[in-house]
């Protein structure tokens, strides 16, 4: 089995701080730049699982890089360079304290809420009579809080404005950018025979302007269905064939874990780890139309550190 990058602990030139997210190690360089190392850690139900997934970080980083380039005409973004398969260097911005989630289909969290009898999600009405994985008449924007620890929480536009988390002018722009990015992602997915089901975007402010930050349209932040056979599967009431992290969540649920207090995280066996890795690579190839070129996983930390230092020195 290939090695997995569980994390880094570098001392970089000009480094001011290191923040470890669920998946990314983020280095602040001076007051201007971020170096983001995308590890092979995997999280579900807001918990980092014990085992890493080989090549997952490379997949996430390279898909995000591609989509940041493909959407820079819609909204400026934080990316400056990609000096390593697992690394992105970008502008430092002040992040908004909400994440912009947009859903084209009734699935995942939205379906679980719907199944429980709720018809309002973040203040947005969901029609009666829908089935799991049905398409919404129009995509709905359902923001969440951006929790430092624990679970993100659903929040409505009205609650965001009342709490002063985002100004009204900025919120209007965030929602406009969210819808435009989702349309672009939907069109690009359709060209590759996929349906972009739902996703989330994170934004920040740099020198008074809104920029897109973090990842975009990756399998960690998004859900994809295969377009071929979607209608037939819906008509028969079958599960959709999908490429996303949802199958990991379903495996955890079937093994008695949903992130609730007192539950123990099950450890994934080698066979399932390999399957998850293959799914991530499959999504890369499906969404980009290109063969995935596996980076060398021997001495990954040494390779990554060298490539970052080479970039900084230039």
Taking only the tens place, the pLDDT of each residue in 19-76 is 999 899 999 999 889 999 999 999 998 899 999 999 999 999 999 999 999 999 999 9
* pLDDT tens figures, 109-166: 999 999 999 999 999 999 999 999 999 999 999 999 986 655 679 999 999 999 999 9
Total tally of structural domains belonging to the chain: 1
* pLDDT tens figures, 284-293: 999 999 999 9
Helix (H, G, I), strand (E, B) or coil at 164: coil
Across the chain, how many H-helices and E-strands are there?
8, 17
pTM of this prediction? Answer: 0.90
User: Could you give the dihedral angle defined by the CA atoms of residues 21, 272, 249 and 148, in that order, rounded to the nearest 10 degrees?
Assistant: -10
Task: Work out the burial of residue 2: count CB atoms within 10 Å of its CB; fewer than 13 is exposed, 13-18 middle, 19 or more buried.
Answer: middle
The pair of three-digit structure tokens given for residue 160, joined into one six-digit string: 């965001």
User: Could you give the dihedral angle defined by the CA atoms of residues 236, 238, 243 and 247, in that order, rounded to the nearest 10 degrees?
Assistant: 170
Residues spanned by the domain of 145: 95-243
d(CA 268, CA 227): 29
Helix (H, G, I), strand (E, B) or coil at 278: helix
Q: Which of 104, 200, 198 is nearest to 144 (CA)?
A: 200
Q: Is residue 49 part of a domain?
A: no
Q: Is residue 189 part of a domain?
A: yes
Tell me, what CATH number does 108's domain have? Answer: 3.30.470.20
Q: Is residue 26 part of a domain?
A: no
Q: Is residue 157 part of a domain?
A: yes
Q: Give the per-residue pLDDT at 247.
A: 81
Q: Give the per-residue pLDDT at 150.
A: 56
Q: Is residue 160 part of a domain?
A: yes
Q: Is residue 162 part of a domain?
A: yes
Q: Is residue 295 part of a domain?
A: no
Q: Is residue 71 part of a domain?
A: no
């Amino acid at each position: 089995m290939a090695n997995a990058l569980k994390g880094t602990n570098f001392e970089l030139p000009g480094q001011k701080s290191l923040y470890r997210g669920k998946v990314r190690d983020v280095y602040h360089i001076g007051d201007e730049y971020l170096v983001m190392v995308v590890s092979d850690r995997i999280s579900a139900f807001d918990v980092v699982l014990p085992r890493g997934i080989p090549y997952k970080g490379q997949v996430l980083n390279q898909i995000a890089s591609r989509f940041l380039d493909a959407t820079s005409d819609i909204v400026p973004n934080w990316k400056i360079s990609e000096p390593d398969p697992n690394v992105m260097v970008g502008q430092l911005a002040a992040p908004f304290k909400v994440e912009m989630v947009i859903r084209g289909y009734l699935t995942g969290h939205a379906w679980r809420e719907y199944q429980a009898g709720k018809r309002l999600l973040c203040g947005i009405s969901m029609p009666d009579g829908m089935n799991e994985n049905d398409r919404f008449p129009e995509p709905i924007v359902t923001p969440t809080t951006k929790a430092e620890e624990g679970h993100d929480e659903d929040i409505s536009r009205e609650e965001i404005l009342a709490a002063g988390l985002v100004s009204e002018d900025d919120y209007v722009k965030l929602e406009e950018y969210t819808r435009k990015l989702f349309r672009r992602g939907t069109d690009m997915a359709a060209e590759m025979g996929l349906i972009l089901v739902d996703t989330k975007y994170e934004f920040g402010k740099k020198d008074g302007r809104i920029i897109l930050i973090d990842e975009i349209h990756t399998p960690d932040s998004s859900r994809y269905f295969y377009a071929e056979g979607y209608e037939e599967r819906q008509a028969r009431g079958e599960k959709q064939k999908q490429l996303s992290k949802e199958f990991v969540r379903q495996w955890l649920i079937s093994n008695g874990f949903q992130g609730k207090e007192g539950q123990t995280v099950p450890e994934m066996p080698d066979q399932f780890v390999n399957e998850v890795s293959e799914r991530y690579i499959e999504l890369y190839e499906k969404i980009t139309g290109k063969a995935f070129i596996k980076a060398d996983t021997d001495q990954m930390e040494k390779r990554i550190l060298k490539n970052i230092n080479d970039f900084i020195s230039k």
